[in-house]
Chain A
Amino acid sequence: MLRLSDIHKSYGATHAVRSVSLEAAPGTVLGLVGENGAGKSTLIKIVSGAIVADGGGIELDGQAVVPRSTRHALALGIASVFQELTLVRELSVEQNLFLTDPPVRPWLSIDRRRRRSVATEILARHDLDIAPDARVGDLPLGRQQMLEIIRAVERKPRVLLLDEASSALAATEVDWLAALLTKLRQQGSIILFISHRWDEIVRFCNRVAVLRNGELMAMAETDKLSEAEAVRLMTGQSGTDEAFPNKVAVHGDVALSARELRSDQLAGVSVDLRRGEILGLGGLVGQGQGHLLEAFFGAHGLSSGAILVGELPLDRPTPRRAIRAGLAYVPQERKTEGLLLLKSVGQNITLAILDRLRTLLGVIEPRDEADLIRKAIARAKVRTRGGGELVSNLSGGNQQKVLLEKWLLAKPSILLLNDVTRGVDVGTKRQIYEVIASIAREGVGVIWYSTDARELVGVAHRVLVMLGGRVSAELTGAEVTEDRIVHAAVMGSTPQAEVHA
């Protein structure tokens, strides 16, 4: 039995968690839901030892425990998996699996042969098809996350914490996780699970706790809580699902076209994008979708192929040239590709448009810039103390808004989105859907890669499904359904009869 009582944590004047009490019996998968900033992650981090609570107590099997660090928590039988992976990318799979307790020989050297055999056994037991000597950084994100999960499971914890641990998993990989959790539940583990995907909560959890503004709003059996009710509890407003905006039909000219793009990751991709169109990219994780977007933006080297922006060819593209041609690219990795974490919100927002700021002898006019930043923050409803605040102080969702606003300020005619709603709460997602829909209505062409098929169905006019570096299916109009996307992603094409129906 895991029992949290009256947990408090505040940062300055902000109460991240206030007076939360909850308990979970062995064999429970407890889902924690709530918007970003609702306190889920803070709560999980307190249990995992990453941060220490200001007040309140944790009890595990009747014993009061105070995890002081992740390592201490592990010793107490609490293992955790976070959205930010804690694998060392430079090291191999087996090295990561046995980072702290490798098998050693009498003279203290690591016994590589035994490590290999045990690692192979573990990977096989968990049905994970990766080589034990593969470098973790070379694995697709989904595989890395699976590895992270089994590493935590292999520590045989009493309590397993999964914080957005499924965010990078593709559909088949989610099935894998479901099977794993079921097994753990049967073994009597206690699992705390955070996800933004309601369908996963329903599927994995037998109980669910709803948090809002750091407070526990409700605690219920999952099957007794409807989605609409959960959303109402999370947001404090009524409303269902992500409430996708209306799609408006498009008749624009071709804004962007690509012919036979080839590289080490792309096997001949041709795409046409019209003005005002939202073109979805789908498929399993790591089938070249991200590389395609990066290729348009000049961030992924092509061996052959041609790109036209409107009528003009984009030769030897670099991000600089691409931006001049009217493209904008919002990368997937917010913290390593999108934002400068040591810089302020304002400096991040204007980074891509430095050329267009009013300057005097190269020195940026401070008032002009501050005005621009203030407006952008207001428009995007970024929760911040101001443009001077460090962007790393913001919550994930607010960072995402800053990142999006940075590119919207560039007033692009073509917007490339790389899974921008990953790990983002429902409220922010809804805002993102609306703003993208509205700029598309203004004539901007959007290519939107998402790992969430339902999201593609909700936002895209047309969907290209990719497999193995090429487009395996194109779905338009009424064909855009979750089933078909998933089918094409796995099978490589849609059922013939239906395509021509």
Chain B
Amino acid sequence: MSLVDRQEDVKETSAPRRTPGLAAALPGLLILFSIGLIVFAERVAPGFASASNLMQLLKLASFLGLVALGQTVVMLVGGIDLSLAWVLTASAVLFTSICLGQDANLPLAAAAAIAIGVLSGLVNGFGIVKLRIAPIIMTLAMNNVMLGATLVYTGGNPGGGISPFIRAVATGSIAGIPWMVVLWAVVAFCAIVAIRYSRWGRRLLAVGENSRVSFLSGINNDAIVIGAYVFSGIMASVTGILFAAFSGASFLGMGDQFLLPAIAAVVLGGTSMFGGRGGYGGTVAAVFFATILSTVLVIGSISAGMRNVIFGVAVLAAVIAQKLLARGEDQSM
């Protein structure tokens, strides 16, 4: 089976070469920016760039990084998940209320919390795929539903406690490296590989780019899209558990702070909001960049308004620089 029977006149094609897209150029640039910021901060506040300090910042970044992984996957299929804020909170609240500070309750509590993520993801996915509700509306509504459910469940008063084991994971470290950073690194490695090189990743990107093509190629689009929302829900739940452990308790509204930063990190990381392009590497770099930037703004004693302005300008600068770098590539086609 071939287009031509005679093979001898076929020249050996060159080895596959990946065209470096925007997604590949951006992470490096963001890391470069971050390093520049660290150097700057070291000058303002000597000792800032010490290894232990940077590890602390990485630990802070890891929570946003984990939530943003779910958001990345959802945005790769052309969706958006606004429900992660209260899915995270609901999971954290349920976790502490079952765990009650006992390691023995840990498996059950974790399972129950993750079930929240799975369930909300399933409902989100079902509404979006089967009922054709716009993702932005579906997940916004789910966010409200989760908020209400959490209030009803707790009576507005989350209780319980964190078990010592999970607390150790979220706050402890090994050889100077926080466990959270180790965990994030492992998750990030797996995610980058999975999105780029696994069957699942290929399908995800295919559905995100052109659902008609992927459907005609035998891909179960509905399952992939619902799966993406379930995955995002699970990531929000896992982050909720870990973040509650980091904080020592669960609070109402603890997820709100992650919503816009997670979206910002994903888009700044080069994932297209229309799906099909991007990956987690860019998101990781963007999370890192955003954390360093906000830290520098905090230690610079800059007024709240000015911080917002600088953050916005920095994001613009990063994407414009990326655009200028990428311009050379576009012409080479």
Contacts and interface: CB of A to CB of B under 8 A. Distances in A.
B5 A438 contact: yes
A17 to B, nearest CB: 16
Given A344-B19, A435-B1, A351 B214 contact: yes
A337 B276 contact: no
Interface string B204-224: 011001101111111110000
Interface hub of A341, A354, A380 (most chain B Cβ within 10 A): A354
Interface stretch (A47-55, A201-209, A359-367): A359-367
B206 A340 contact: yes
Interface string A311-334: 000000011101110000101000
A354 B203 contact: yes
A346 B14 CA distance: 13
A338 interface: yes
Interface stretch (B191-199, B259-267, B315-323): B191-199
B231 to A, nearest CB: 14
A410 B202 CA distance: 17
Contacts of B218: 319-320, 322-324, 352
Contacts of A411: 1
A406 B216 CA distance: 12
A435 B199 contact: no
A405 B193 CA distance: 27
Interface string B1-43: 1111101001011111111000000000000000000000000
Contacts of B210: 336, 340-341
* Size bracket of the B interface: 35 or more
Given A11-B333, A362-B198, A435-B2, A373 B16 contact: yes
B212 A389 contact: no
A370 to B, nearest CB: 5
Nearest to B2: A379
Contacts of B14: 385-386
Contacts of A406: 217
Contact of A364 (B4, B197, B213, B214): B197
A404 interface: yes
Given A337-B213, A352-B218, A379 B4 contact: yes
B200 interface: yes
A367 to B, nearest CB: 11
Interface residues of A, number: 64
B1 A408 contact: yes
A351 B206 CA distance: 8
Given A319-B215, A378-B10, A387 B2 contact: no
A123 B203 CA distance: 45
A170 interface: no
A193 interface: no
Interface string A404-432: 11101001000000000000000000011
A431 to B, nearest CB: 5
Nearest to A323: B218
A357 B219 contact: no
B13 A386 contact: yes
Given A299-B215, A340-B210, A364 B198 contact: yes
Contacts of B12: 378
B13 A405 contact: no
Contacts of A329: 216
B224 to A, nearest CB: 11
Nearest to A334: B213
Nearest to A435: B3
A439 B2 CA distance: 8
Contacts of A364: 197-199, 202
B250 to A, nearest CB: 34
A355 B203 CA distance: 11
A431 B205 CA distance: 31
Interface in A367-415: 370, 373-374, 377-382, 384-390, 393, 401, 404-406, 408, 411
Given A354-B202, A363-B198, A384 B13 contact: yes
A434 interface: yes
A362 B195 CA distance: 11
A296 interface: no
A337 B212 contact: yes
Nearest to B275: A342
A82 to B, nearest CB: 19
Nearest to A385: B14
A11 B333 CA distance: 7
Interface hub of B202, B205, B216 (most chain A Cβ within 10 A): B216
B59 interface: no
A297 interface: yes
A44 B219 CA distance: 38
A425 to B, nearest CB: 14
Contacts of B217: 319, 351-352, 406
A111 interface: no
B4 A435 contact: yes
A232 interface: no
B17 to A, nearest CB: 4
Given A299-B215, A378-B12, A12 B7 contact: no
Contact of A381 (B4, B19, B193, B198): B4
Contact of B216 (A337, A362, A373, A408): A337
A351 B202 contact: yes
Contacts of A381: 3-4, 10
Nearest to A299: B216
Nearest to B203: A354
A457 B199 CA distance: 41
A343 B13 contact: no
Nearest to B199: A354
A352 B203 CA distance: 10
B332 interface: yes
A330 to B, nearest CB: 9
Nearest to A321: B218
A343 B205 contact: yes
Contacts of A350: 202
Nearest to A320: B218
A476 B216 CA distance: 31
Contacts of A331: 216
A339 interface: yes
B167 interface: no
Contacts of A435: 1-4
Contact of B199 (A359, A377, A431, A442): A359
A213 B130 CA distance: 50
A384 B333 CA distance: 12
A1 B114 CA distance: 74
B16 A388 contact: yes
Contacts of A322: 218
Given A339-B213, A363-B193, A379 B19 contact: no
29 contacts: A11-B333, A319-B218, A331-B216, A336-B212, A336-B213, A338-B216, A339-B213, A341-B210, A344-B18, A354-B199, A354-B202, A354-B203, A355-B199, A363-B198, A364-B198, A364-B199, A379-B10, A380-B4, A384-B13, A386-B13, A386-B16, A386-B17, A388-B16, A401-B3, A408-B3, A435-B2, A435-B4, A438-B2, A439-B1
Given A354-B199, A354-B202, A389-B19, 6 more contacts: A11-B333, A324-B218, A343-B209, A373-B16, A384-B13, A388-B16
Which 3 A-B residue pairs are closest in the complex by CB-CB distance? A379-B2, A387-B16, A388-B16
